[in-house]
């Protein structure tokens, strides 16, 4: 009887000690991080006059509305314009960027503040540089480096898109520096020399590529996009390059293959180009 009482008291004491240690452990643990807020307001679009490298004197930035109220890192999308938007970075010249592509969608507030991909919420940082003339790889590298150094971005989610001249420039850049981006979406243009060597870089580094072109493009031949995609896929890449060839367009020279795909309402296989990009994350 006496021994049973001692055992009971020891058991109670052990339980109290365990509860005390558990409570202390819980008290010492940091509180769980609150979930990041989901963006519901349009991105904040503003022109920035700044010289970057030898060929950029300004750009447009579009930041998530709560960018400055959070510490999260965002996907980075850089959009490269065509020859019709070349300019010197002044306020007047920068307005040209808003005439086409993703920049136009942002200017018209049709760019969704939030994208849901694989159950996750994403909001983009979008940057749109204006070049004074056709950019070289060095010019593009200067801007990409600047963007990565100055914006709070997710380094595993860097995406490049562009139209016409910009499409040619970005495919050339991506093939030369394949580790710099996760996915590319060129529209109405692609690289066309040293094709196999550069296409192999895209395949080897698992750069996702979705190209667009019009069948009747008389400004830049649709064969550029077709040959590029075929060259990449000839290396049996882990992520096959894809091409959407639109039927003949009545746009000038049949060239505008960017207005449709940059519209977030345009989807293939359930995804617009922005959702398609977000499904890819670079593995370091």
Extract the tokens encoding 239: 């992520």
Q: Indicate the SS3 state at residue 162.
A: strand
Residue 18: pLDDT above 70? no
The pLDDT, as a whole number, for residue 9 is 40
- In this predicted model, what pLDDT tens digit does every residue of 76-117 receive, in sequence order? 999 999 999 999 999 999 999 999 999 999 999 999 999 999
Residue 24: pLDDT above 50? no
- In this predicted model, what pLDDT tens digit does every residue of 205-239 receive, in sequence order? 999 999 999 999 999 999 999 999 999 999 999 99
Q: What is the mean pLDDT of residues 130-147?
A: 98
Region for residue 238 given its phi and psi (left: phi exceeds 0; alpha: psi -120 to 50; beta: otherwise): alpha
Residue 157: pLDDT above 70? yes
The pLDDT, as a whole number, for residue 276 is 98
**Please, which residues have CB within 8 angstroms of residue 224's CB and are 6 or more apart in sequence?**
168, 189, 190, 191, 192, 213
Which DSSP symbol is given to 239? Answer: S
The DSSP annotation for 28-90 comes to HSPPPPPPPPPP-SPPEEEEEEEEETTTEEEEEEEE-TTGGG----EEEEEEE--GGG---SS
Strands 153-163 and 74-80: parallel
User: Range with the lowest mean pLDDT among 30-39, 67-76, 107-116?
Assistant: 30-39
The pLDDT, as a whole number, for residue 283 is 81
Residue 19: pLDDT above 50? no
Share of the chain above pLDDT 70, in %: 87
The pLDDT, as a whole number, for residue 29 is 59
User: How many other CB atoms sit within 10 Å of the CB of residue 69?
Assistant: 9
Extract the tokens encoding 69: 């109220």
Cα distances (Å, whole numbers) of residue 184 to 59, 66, 229, 241, 251: 20, 26, 12, 10, 24
The pLDDT, as a whole number, for residue 34 is 60
Q: Classify burial at 229, counting beta carbons within 10 Å of its beta carbon; exposed 0-12, middle 13-18, buried 19 or more.
A: buried
Residue 6: pLDDT above 80? no
| pLDDT category of residue 284 using cuts at 50, 70 and 90 | low
The pLDDT, as a whole number, for residue 36 is 76
| pLDDT category of residue 22 using cuts at 50, 70 and 90 | very low
User: Range with the lowest mean pLDDT among 12-26, 60-74, 160-174?
Assistant: 12-26
């Amino acid at each position: 009887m006496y021994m049973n009482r001692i055992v009971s008291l020891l058991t109670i004491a052990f339980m109290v000690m365990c509860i005390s240690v558990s409570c202390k452990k819980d008290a010492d643990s940091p509180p769980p991080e609150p979930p990041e807020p989901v963006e519901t307001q349009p991105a904040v679009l503003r022109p920035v006059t700044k010289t970057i490298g030898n060929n950029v004197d300004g750009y447009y930035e579009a930041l998530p509305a709560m960018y400055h109220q959070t510490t999260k890192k965002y996907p980075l999308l850089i959009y490269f314009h065509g020859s019709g938007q070349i300019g010197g970075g002044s306020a007047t010249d920068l307005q040209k960027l808003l005439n086409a592509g993703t920049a136009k969608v942002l200017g018209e507030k049709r760019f969704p503040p939030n994208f849901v991909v694989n159950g996750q919420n994403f909001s983009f940082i979008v940057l749109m540089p204006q070049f004074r003339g056709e950019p070289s790889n060095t010019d593009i590298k200067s801007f990409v480096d600047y963007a990565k150094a100055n914006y709070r971005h997710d380094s595993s989610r860097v995406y490049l898109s562009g139209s016409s001249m910009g499409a040619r420039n970005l495919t050339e850049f991506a093939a030369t520096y394949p580790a710099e981006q996760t996915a590319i979406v060129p529209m109405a243009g692609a690289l066309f020399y040293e094709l196999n060597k550069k296409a192999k870089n895209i395949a080897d580094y698992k750069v996702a590529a979705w190209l667009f072109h019009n069948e009747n493009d008389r400004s830049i031949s649709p064969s550029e996009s077709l040959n590029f995609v075929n060259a990449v896929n000839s290396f049996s890449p882990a992520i096959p390059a894809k091409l959407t060839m639109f039927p003949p367009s009545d746009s000038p020279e049949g060239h505008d293959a960017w207005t449709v795909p940059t519209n977030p309402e345009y989807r293939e296989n359930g995804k617009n180009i922005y959702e398609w990009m977000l499904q890819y994350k670079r593995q370091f």
